[in-house]
Chains A and B, each alone.
Chain A
Amino acid sequence: AQTVTQSQPEMSVQEAETVTLSCTYDTSESDYYLFWYKQPPSRQMILVIRQEAYKQQNATENRFSVNFQKAAKSFSLKISDSQLGDAAMYFCAYRRSQGGSEKLVFGKGTKLTVNP
C-alpha cells in the first residue's frame, strides 16, 4: 500500500522569506501523481500544485515550486516570498495514474505559520 510521510508537524517562516516543506512517499508504481494541498482555517482544501511522476521537470505555480526526486521518493514544496495568507495546513498527497483506485493518499500535514 502507498504511504505518504510528512516529517515536519509545524514550520514557521518570516514574511517575504522562503520555506521548504518536506514529503516522502512509498510506492511500487512507476506512474503516479503527487499533489500539495493547502487547508486554511476555513478548512477548504485547495490544490496548490501537481506533479506527474513521468515528468522530470519540477512543477511551478507562481511562488510555489516543488523539488521532485523520483529515485529518493521525495516531493518537497518550496514557498518563495511567503505571505501572511500562506499560513495554513499543507498536505502532501499521492494518487495512482491509471487503473484501480482513484483515491488520494494524504500525509498528516504540516502547519505553516507566517510571522509578520
Chain B
Amino acid sequence: NAGVMQNPRHLVRRRGQEARLRCSPMKGHSHVYWYRQLPEEGLKFMVYLQKENIIDESGMPKERFSAEFPKEGPSILRIQQVVRGDSAAYFCASSPRAGGRSEQYFGPGTRLTVT
C-alpha cells in the first residue's frame, strides 16, 4: 500500500504567481489534512477535508488560500498571488476515519520557495 503522495516535492514561484500543491491520500483514506511548517517551527494545522467537503478550515489564512478534495483525484492546496512569507514546507496527512485511535499518516511534504 503506497503511502501518502505529494507533488511536487519542491516548487519555486515568483511573487504574485499561483502555487498548486497536490496530495494523494493512502488507498482507502477519505480524510485529508494540510499543515504548514515555517523554518525552525513546528507544523501548524491549516485545513481538514473529507471527500468534496471542507470540515475545518480554522487554520487557513482568510485570503489567497483555498483547498479542495474532489470526489475523484487528489486534494489540492492552492495559494494565489504568493508572497515571500508563504515560503514553507506544506505537509499533507490522511486517515481512514475521523476520531478515536485513527492515526494521521504524513506525506513527504512540498517545499515552496517564493522568490
Contact = CB atoms under 8 A, between A and B. Distances in A.
B50 to A, nearest CB: 10
Interface residues of A, number: 23
Interface string A19-51: 000000000000001000000001111110010
Interface of A: 4, 33, 42-47, 50, 52, 91, 97-99, 101-109
A2 to B, nearest CB: 11
Given A99-B99, A109-B42, A104 B56 contact: no
SS class of chain A's interface: helix, strand, loop or mixed?
loop
Interface string B3-16: 00000000000000
Given A102-B31, A102-B98, A103-B33, A45 B91 contact: yes
Interface of B: 31, 33, 35, 40-45, 48, 55-56, 58-59, 89, 91, 93, 95, 98-101, 103-104, 106, 108-109, 111
Nearest to A92: B42
Contact of A104 (B45, B89, B100, B101): B45
Given A98-B99, A98-B100, A103 B42 contact: no
15 contacts: A4-B42, A43-B89, A45-B106, A46-B106, A50-B101, A91-B43, A97-B99, A97-B100, A102-B33, A102-B99, A102-B104, A103-B33, A103-B59, A104-B45, A107-B42
